[in-house]
Amino acid sequence: MTQDWRSDVAIYQIYPRSFQDSDGDGIGDLEGIRQRLPYVAALGVDAVWISPFVRSPMKDFGYDVEDFCDIEPMFGDLETFDALVADAHALGLRVIMDQVWNHTSDRHPWFQESRRNRDNPKADWYVWEDPAADGGPPNNWRATFGGSAWAFDESRRQYYLHNFLESQPDLNWYNPAVRDAIREVGRFWLDRGVDGFRLDVINFICHDRSLADNPERPTGIPRPAGAGRTDPYFDRINRGTVCRPENLGMLSEIRQMADHYPGTLLLGEISSAEDSLADAAGYVANGRLHLAYNASLISDEPFTAEGLYRLLGRSLELFPHNRLCWTFGTHDFPRLKGRWSQHSLLEPDLAHRLDVLLASLLVGLPGACCIYQGDELGLTQAQLAFEDLRDPYGIANWPNIHGRDGCRTPMPWSTGQAHAGFTEGARPWLPMPAEHLPLAVDRQQAEAGSLLNEYRRLLQWRRNVPAMRGGETRLFPVQGDVLALERGEGGERILCAYNLSDEPASLALHRLHDEARRYSLCEEISPGVELHERTLQLPPFGAAFVLAPR
């Protein structure tokens, strides 16, 4: 591993409600996570990111915080959390905690005081504005979950800003007292041994104080990466609330707080940005965040070698120090396995090859990477009936948008137990899809070549090869459907080659370097890879890691 673990960390995201239930109520909890930590450690990742588990009314399942410094009882208590951190550290895992610092629940004591009247001590802790001349909202800003971003409060006779649910009022980051309080929250958890924070929608924290309307999206201007094609939120350019330049100055204070705890990681979610790569680069520049992730690899379209070449070329320019965290999905996006129709149309063998290729791509890219729970099993996007939905976003926008429940169904652990070992209770909070049962952990652990075992092999190989944990990256021109890049520095270089087609392909090695090199396969990802003196032969959706010494 490189000296600074943060630059190339491999992270496993855990969604607590759906990982493991330990008490039979059908909802995953901290004790369940603690019991399953050996599984996570065996994957070969370096850290776990745990989605919110602090006290919350659960209108948005933890992303609506009622108390930043206490545990939601359905998940456990502070003693259980401390035990989880201790066990994770004993297994060599760092713990990254989700922090929702853009907004709170409307039940948070800060908001209860702020809404009481216009002259209380916390009157300016949230974003309040007078009605427009016609009595309506101050402008045309939309909430990401639908409708106006403004809600009227009878007590103050003013509107408050909520970029998400009406029950999630936005904090006023222009108020220094708010920023002081947020830093106190950070110190509380760092003092308990947390190794870093994933900062939820950190590019939303400031708003345009002029309150100018957001313009309609011009014809020909594409929607941001990861944006739903029918989502009305992206009918406008949301420049009043997303990626405001004022955000960047606020982050320096958060970084100063984190730097008092050496080795702390700040990982920012850059959400709904018009240019996700460029905006994310600004958040890690000049000593702000350590890493940022975005939706640049999350697309409704199949990958092509040319498309990936352009994406990687731009990322290398924008992130010269590899401070981008690559991910194929999180709790907010459709499952990797079910994202493209191409997957469902392939024969099982080819579909498996594609799954393994995507895993090898994730671990081969420069920078950090994040795996969402269940993607290592190849879980498909669950198709749920309306009556089974729990996500307020999906319920409000049904049937045009099905929401996020399809990627949040419980982890299948054992084929021989009720509810696949997720809970001993009568019913899990979301249904366990029948098609997930054959993909359960116990079955895949016993199968050589299963997707789970391929993830383990690739992640552990990445951990043990210095060239894959830092150094320089060189991107080569695409040859047909083959993407190739070289990782490492000094005497050891690793050539990563990916055939993005369902037909065999070859890579002419003599076209990559000016000088002659003696290549050798160091990790054969796909069966059927052949290395001749000057040519690498790749089967359909084949990939290989090749030692290319200088």
Percentage of residues in the chain having pLDDT higher than 90: 83
**118: Cβ–Cβ under 8 A, 6 or more apart, which residues?**
128, 156, 158
Shared-domain flag, residues 411 and 511: no
Decide if pLDDT at 245 tops 50. Answer: yes
Annotated catalytic residue: which of 8, 166, 195, 269?
269
Number of H helices, E strands in the chain: 12, 21
**What is the sign, positive or negative, of the torsion defined by CA atoms of 381, 385, 386, 392?**
negative
Q: Which of 442, 462, 482 is the last residue of a domain?
A: 462
What is the distance between the alpha carbons of residues 236 and 239, in angstroms, rounded to a whole number? 9
Shared-domain flag, residues 73 and 93: yes
Query: How much is the pTM?
Result: 0.96
Decide if pLDDT at 1 tops 50. Answer: no
Average pLDDT value for the chain:
94
Using one digit for the tens of pLDDT, what is the confidence trace for 344-370?
688 999 999 999 999 999 999 999 999
**220 domain-assigned:** yes
Domain span holding position 519: 472-547
**478 domain-assigned:** yes
User: Which pLDDT score is estimated for 336?
Assistant: 84
Instruction: Report, in angstroms and rounded to the nearest whole number, the Rg of the chain calculated over CA atoms.
Output: 24
**120 domain-assigned:** no
Shared-domain flag, residues 440 and 490: no
User: Which pLDDT score is estimated for 382?
Assistant: 93
User: Which pLDDT score is estimated for 299?
Assistant: 66
Using one digit for the tens of pLDDT, what is the confidence trace for 97-114?
999 999 999 999 999 999
**387: Cβ–Cβ under 8 A, 6 or more apart, which residues?**
none
How far are the Cα atoms of 95, 292, 317 from residue 284, in angstroms, in the given order?
21, 7, 13
Q: Evaluate whether 394 touches 405 at the Cβ level (below 8 Å).
A: yes
What is the distance between the alpha carbons of residues 437 and 239, in angstroms, rounded to a whole number? 44
Other C-beta atoms within 10 Å of 282: how many? 20
At 402, is the pLDDT very low, low, confident or very high (cuts 50, 70, 90)? confident
User: Which pLDDT score is estimated for 211?
Assistant: 98
DSSP per-residue codes, 465-521: -GGGSSSEEEEEEEETTEEEEEEEETTEEEEEEEE-SSS-EEEEGGGT-SS----EE
**184 domain-assigned:** yes
Which helix (H) or strand (E) segment holds residue 365: the answer is: none
Decide if pLDDT at 287 tops 80. Answer: yes
Q: Is 208 a catalytic residue?
A: no
User: Which pLDDT score is estimated for 284?
Assistant: 95
- Decide which of 307 and 298 is more confident: 307
Other C-beta atoms within 10 Å of 207: how many? 23
In our burial notation (b when 16+ CB lie closer than 10 A, e otherwise), range 380-395 reads bbbebeeeebbbbbbe
Most confident range, picked from 126-130, 290-294, 394-398, 523-527:
126-130
Q: Is 269 a catalytic residue?
A: yes
How many C-alpha atoms does 503 have within 13 Å on its Cβ side? 4
Shared-domain flag, residues 512 and 415: no
Shared-domain flag, residues 380 and 513: no
- The mean per-residue pLDDT over the stretch 471-487 comes to 95
**155 domain-assigned:** no
- The mean per-residue pLDDT over the stretch 150-170 comes to 98
Decide if pLDDT at 300 tops 70. Answer: no
Annotated catalytic residue: which of 8, 46, 170, 200?
200
What is the distance between the alpha carbons of residues 454 and 165, in angstroms, rounded to a whole number? 39
- Residue 520, strand partner residues: 547
- The mean per-residue pLDDT over the stretch 451-479 comes to 94
Least confident of 2-11, 59-68, 186-195: 2-11
Q: Which of 406, 428, 462 is the last residue of a domain?
A: 462
Q: Which of 424, 442, 462 is the last residue of a domain?
A: 462
Shared-domain flag, residues 444 and 479: no
Shared-domain flag, residues 446 and 498: no
**166 domain-assigned:** no
Shared-domain flag, residues 513 and 438: no
Shared-domain flag, residues 427 and 510: no
Q: Using alpha carbons, select from 244, 239, 242 the residue that is nearest to residue 217.
A: 239
Shared-domain flag, residues 378 and 456: yes
Shared-domain flag, residues 247 and 319: yes
The residue whose two tokens read 């640049």 is 296
User: Which pLDDT score is estimated for 343?
Assistant: 67
Q: Using alpha carbons, select from 138, 112, 136 the residue that is nearest to residue 125.
A: 112
For helices 246-259 and 276-284, the axis angle rounded to 10 degrees is 40
Which helix (H) or strand (E) segment holds residue 368: the answer is: strand 368-372
**446: Cβ–Cβ under 8 A, 6 or more apart, which residues?**
none
Least confident of 154-163, 198-207, 264-273, 387-396: 387-396
User: Which pLDDT score is estimated for 302?
Assistant: 58
Q: Which two tokens stand for residue 190?
A: 């760092």
Decide if pLDDT at 274 tops 80. Answer: yes
User: Can you give the CATH number for the domain in which 498 is found?
Assistant: 2.60.40.1180
Coil/strand/helix, residue 133: coil
Total structural domains in the chain? 2
Using one digit for the tens of pLDDT, what is the confidence trace for 330-345?
999 888 876 665 666 8
Shared-domain flag, residues 287 and 329: yes
- The mean per-residue pLDDT over the stretch 195-204 comes to 98
